[in-house]
Amino acid sequence: MSLKVTMLGTGVGIPQPGRSQAAVLAESEQPLLLDCGAGTILRLDQVGASLEALDTVILTHLHLDHVSDLLALANARFLADLPGLQLFGPEGTKEYVRAAKSLYPNLAKMDVAVRELHPMDSISLKGFDIFAEEARHSVTALAYRLEADDRVVVYSGDTEPSPRVAALAKGADLLVHECSFPEPFDVTNHSTPKKLGSMIKNHGIKRVVLTHIYPQASGCEDLMAEQVIELSEVPTIVGWDMMTLTL
């Protein structure tokens, strides 16, 4: 069975053409949503994803551009009289859901089952064996390794280039990694091409897709991919919304 990865959202909190906020759809036996930023529900409809089948979400962290459509997705299932949403995320996810639901008293009966994950945790969901690792960001954040049918996908979420995330991606068929800014930006909490390329070299990664692209990178996309390739020797492209990769 093939493993399909669809880049639903490759942008950030600042609007830009062709890029909604962070979301990745992984499909093996069943669909699994990674992050749920603004625009995710629209993108799910555009790719023909079944609302009935899409009952599980994994969050990398709780910044707004990664969770904006989460409550809307749970509400859509509630309004469609479907079972509640399963939600996995880092420490703080339970409190986030509680606080978000408290803003809308009419959603008190909406069921969202939350399990918090920590670095080195492992779970099995939707035909995937999933491993969590610490990402390096301004808030508690996780990266994930998904394994299914001898295929491996790693999703970084938001992070600086990190030895722990690079180790998580060792031997991956696909690494979906944030690369927020082009050179010569010098940033913390996010990745740039040269630091990312240097970090992932010699890890046996087969392919890289760059995501979480800020408007400052507009027009630099090809160069950013080339810089990662030059330092990592791994085939690399910049992702766009609705891009699908089959492994």
User: Per-residue pLDDT tens for 26-43?
Assistant: 999 899 999 999 999 999
Question: Would you kindly state where each structural domain of the chain is located, as residue ranges?
Answer: 4-246
Identify the pLDDT of residue 21: 98
**SS3 state of residue 108:** coil
Contact present, 151 and 172 (Cβ < 8 Å): no
Q: List strands edge to edge, sheet with 23-27.
A: 112-116, 85-89, 56-58, 31-34, 23-27, 4-9, 243-246
For the chain, list residues with pLDDT below 70.
1
**Per-residue pLDDT, 110:** 84
Of 81, 13, 95, the residue nearest 52 (C-alpha) = 81
Q: Residue 70: which of 9, 127, 158 has the closest Cα?
A: 9
6-30 pLDDT, tens digit per residue, is 999 999 999 999 999 999 999 998 9
Q: Which phi and psi (to 5°) does residue 131 adopt?
A: -125, 135
If you classify domain 4-246 with CATH, what class do you get?
alpha beta
Please state the pTM of the whole predicted model. 0.97
Predicted confidence at residue 168, as pLDDT, reads 98
